[in-house]
Amino acid sequence: MTEILNIVNEKDEVIGQKTREEIHKSKSWHRGVHAILLDKDSKILLQKRSAYKDKFPCCFDLSVSGHVDLNESYDEAIVRELKEELNIIAEPKKLVKLKMDYGENDNMISEVYELNYDGNIEFDNLEEVEAIYFFSQEELKEMLVKEKDKFAQWTVEILKWYLNMPSQIIVIGD
């Protein structure tokens, strides 16, 4: 199925629609969501992206990452992505809206959410998620310096921002 997404300008105003492939070829700005999930010990869940992913296969990604579908809000998208990727039904807390170059021809405006979650995590969509891991914040700080090539590009920058390290993200207002 062809994925149609909204195109936005740098002020996050919808200016049209294109397929996901057309957006990435044309460097068009589009919308995304991310969640940072913390367990009871404040360890951060990272997923290992599936080998089937077209960008950064087998790399660490945030707890949840995804596009905002056509005519969907950021809040609706993060709830959907949590369910699709980790089988979690929850409404996480919004932390920040940002814009960033996510890689070659991939310009996104995204909202980042946080979720404290102590329940079971049962992922079964192996086209999305290969495995999940929990890391302490100190472990992640070290990995982001010494092993950043093991992470999706956006994950490096968002985690650096979250962990109060120098980051390339640009925080924007609502």
> How confident is the model over 112-138, as a mean pLDDT?
89
Q: Is residue 7 part of a domain?
A: no
What domain range includes position 85? 32-93+109-172
Q: Is the pLDDT of residue 1 over 80?
A: no
- Supply the CATH number for residue 55's domain: 3.90.79.10
Place of tokens 């991939």: 106
Q: Is residue 100 part of a domain?
A: no
**How would residue 6 be classed by pLDDT, with cut points 50, 70 and 90?**
very high
Q: Is residue 60 part of a domain?
A: yes
**How would residue 34 be classed by pLDDT, with cut points 50, 70 and 90?**
very high
What Rg do the C-alpha atoms of the chain give, in angstroms? 15
Q: Is the pLDDT of residue 174 over 80?
A: no
Q: Is residue 130 part of a domain?
A: yes
Q: Is residue 54 part of a domain?
A: yes
Q: What is the pTM of this model?
A: 0.92
What is the predicted pLDDT for the residue at 132?
Answer: 93
Q: Is residue 68 part of a domain?
A: yes
What is the predicted pLDDT for the residue at 140?
Answer: 98
Number of domains in the chain: 1
Of 137, 99, 125, 113, nearest to 63 by C-alpha is: 113
Q: Is residue 87 part of a domain?
A: yes
Of the CA atoms within 13 Å of residue 142, those in its CB half-sphere come to 5
Vertex 17: Cα angle to 67 and 107 (nearest 5): 50
Q: Is residue 102 part of a domain?
A: no
The answer to whether the beta carbons of residues 50 and 132 sit under 8 Å apart is no
For the stretch 42-84, pLDDT in tens is 999 999 998 988 888 999 999 999 999 998 999 999 999 999 8
Question: Which structure tokens are listed for 134?
Answer: 């929990």
